[in-house]
Amino acid sequence: MNNKTFAHRLQQAGFTLVEILVALIIGMLVVLAAMASMLGTRSTAKTGDDVNVLHQSSALAFRLLGQQIRQAGYFPIDATGSRYYFNVDADVDTKLASEPSFFAVKGQEAAVGSVNDTLKVGYAPNPDYFKDCLGQQAKGSAGAAYKPANPADAGNVRLITSEFSVVNGTLRCEGSGNGNKPQPIIDGVERFDVMYGIGDVGGERLVRYVTAANVGSFDQVRSVRVCLQLAGTSTSNPGGSYVDCDGSLRASSDGRLRRAYTAVFALRNL
């Protein structure tokens, strides 16, 4: 065999089986690394999306809750400043069938088997604010719209109410402007916990926070503390932990991201 024939055979030689296997293994490792990186990035992105959604949901809920709670208990006085333009005694009709007597705050503790409380606030309309939690204007006794320029008008509604509750993981609100037609506010609610700040005898100093069941009289309430425990939709957060509304550290066993948000609102009209 001359040198030309040997060189020609070397040029036609392929990869050996070992070389092919090594190349396949290296290629598989590269693909697996790329897939792991992609899945990790995707999981991180989903977690980030859930965090943003939970933050936005809590901000929306607290903005609406605060808007109504801060109005709670408001009632106007007449031009002399010596008496109210309508009587707030319990036996006087407020011209709202569902709430015949004036009130500022009412609460109902979660029923057995539930962790969601119910909160209702009430206030008289005023020229600057006369809409319920759904942005709807309650109608007066004659069915006419509220007259902000003339608060003492006999046909004006006497009480605006907003009731917050949770049904099937959705925080809802029912306003006096659309009675018996609650509308959703945010989803993903696992707990709606409401505590009431009780004032001392003079009402000037906050003494303690209690549940609705332990409120002797809601006339003593000076602030409302609301905790919302929200859960994300993604299940890509395995082994995650969170602090619940009671301040206890909990583990999330289903991979869903959970956060508890708390806000305190003062009843500035009491």
Q: What's the one-letter identity of residue 11?
A: Q
Pairing of strands 249-251, 241-243: antiparallel
- Above 70 in pLDDT, residue 102? yes
171: left (phi over 0), alpha (psi -120 to 50) or beta: beta
Q: Give the whole-number percent of the chain exceeding pLDDT 70.
A: 76
Q: Which of 205, 226, 191 is nearest to 66 (CA)?
A: 226
Given this model, what pLDDT does residue 31 score?
79
pLDDT digits (tens, 9 = 90+) for 156-196: 777 888 999 999 999 999 988 776 789 999 999 999 999 99
Q: Give the alpha-carbon dihedral of 202, 207, 209, 215, to 10 degrees.
A: -40
